[in-house]
Amino acid sequence: MMTSTSPTVLTNPLFLIAGMAVLVFASACTGNKECSSDSDCPPSYECATAGGVFASDAVCAPVDTNQGDPQDAGGNDTSPQPSCDDNTQSGDQTDVDCGGSQCPPCEVGKNCQTASDCATNLCVEGVCTEPDGGCPSGQTECNGVCADLSSDTAHCGDCDNACGDGESCTGGSCICDADCCADDDCGTGEVCDGGACTCATECCHDDDCPGMGRCDGDGFCECIFACCVDDDCPGLETCDDGYCECEQECCEDSDCPGFKECQGGSCVCDHPVCCHAGDCPSGMDCSHYQECIELDGECDNTCDCTLGQQCSGGADGGDCRSGLPGPLPHESECCVSPFCTSGEQCTNLDGSSSICQ
């Protein structure tokens, strides 16, 4: 006959104590456990209240990994800065725990980006190098940089000997590749502007002056001839090799025969009767009144005669004659319009007075 047994396990004090320990351990592995520091919490949990300050009501809660960049009350970055002694390359370090803006310079053989990353102040092809013999063959160390002194424009012929604008370094010498690189490369009175010599005054050479002009010692154009440009000549004359010349039929009225006028380089007669002997019948000539008269005919005054003749009788009249002493008459010296004002009294070349006709 079977005898039933009572469940003594549940009432045994030892089993009760063990069960409580299991419950305590289980509660320490979860959140919401009261704490006074992070050490009271399991991994990936932290001890904090809503305000982030330890207090009697603080409990363990999962660490928030999505809080953004940590900042203090003033908005300053409080994230951990790269360490220079953690055996790790971080931040802007160029090698492990050295180089960059935060850590000491690196020793020879370490990686670098600039000369300041190296304790030797010499960075060659990305590696910190010894100053002596650290540069490749044919190069010289200049302030932490390996330079070819024969072609480097910043160190041409010697360290820090920089070439100017427009210059190249050839064979250790700065060579100007433009028309000029400095004012000294230009002639007298010229300055170097953008690689080209320009004149700083009105002229620097005779070629800078118009026509036959010459450049004086003060940088100004001057004319040492009768003319240098056409504007120096009267009327329609032009300047040819320093002299004013008329290259047309006429350049002024005096170039035309008789009483013809010079208009646009041509001699023109505006009078309906005559302007010179060729306009009159044979044996007659054109008088100052621009009327055809007989040669050596009678006259009251010189204006009755042809150009080049005078009235032999003076104010009392006479004959028109050539070769008489005294100046020859000119049309503007006779009382004939348009050489005087019509209707007004005027004086002829021979001294006679008459009314302008």
DSSP labels, 245-299: E--SS-SSGGGSSTT-EEETTEEE---SS-SSGGGS-TTEEEBTTS-EEETT-EE
In a domain, 55, yes or no: no
- What dihedral do alpha carbons 95, 96, 102, 104 form, nearest 10°? -90
pLDDT at 287 over 90: no
In a domain, 298, yes or no: yes
In a domain, 156, yes or no: no
**pLDDT level of residue 55 (50, 70, 90 thresholds):** very low
Mean pLDDT of the chain: 76
In a domain, 161, yes or no: no
In a domain, 245, yes or no: no
- The pLDDT, as a whole number, for residue 89 is 92
**Domains in the chain, number:** 1
- Residue 320 structural domain: 253-355
- The pLDDT, as a whole number, for residue 62 is 76
pLDDT in tens, 189-228: 888 888 888 888 889 888 889 888 889 888 899 988 889 8
For β-strands 59-62 and 45-48, DSSP reports them as: antiparallel
Residue 328 CA to residue 168 CA, distance in Å, equals 78
**pLDDT level of residue 49 (50, 70, 90 thresholds):** low
The CB density around residue 260, as the number of other CB atoms within 10 Å, is: 22
Residue 171 CA to residue 163 CA, distance in Å, equals 13
pLDDT in tens, 56-69: 567 787 776 555 45
Quick one: DSSP state of residue 333? G
In a domain, 258, yes or no: yes
Mean pLDDT of 312-324: 68
In a domain, 318, yes or no: yes
Residue 254 CA to residue 243 CA, distance in Å, equals 19
> Which residues have C-beta within 8 Å of that of residue 188, sequence separation ≥ 6?
204
Place of tokens 């329609």: 236
For β-strands 45-48 and 140-142, DSSP reports them as: unpaired
Helix (H, G, I), strand (E, B) or coil at 81: coil
Residue 78 CA to residue 253 CA, distance in Å, equals 102
Structure tokens at 166: 């427009």
Long-range own/partner contacts, residues 232-241 (CB < 8 A, 24 or more apart): 235/262, 236/262, 236/265, 239/211, 239/212, 241/212
Quick one: DSSP state of residue 331? G
pLDDT in tens, 22-39: 344 444 444 567 787 878
In a domain, 303, yes or no: yes
pLDDT at 185 over 70: yes
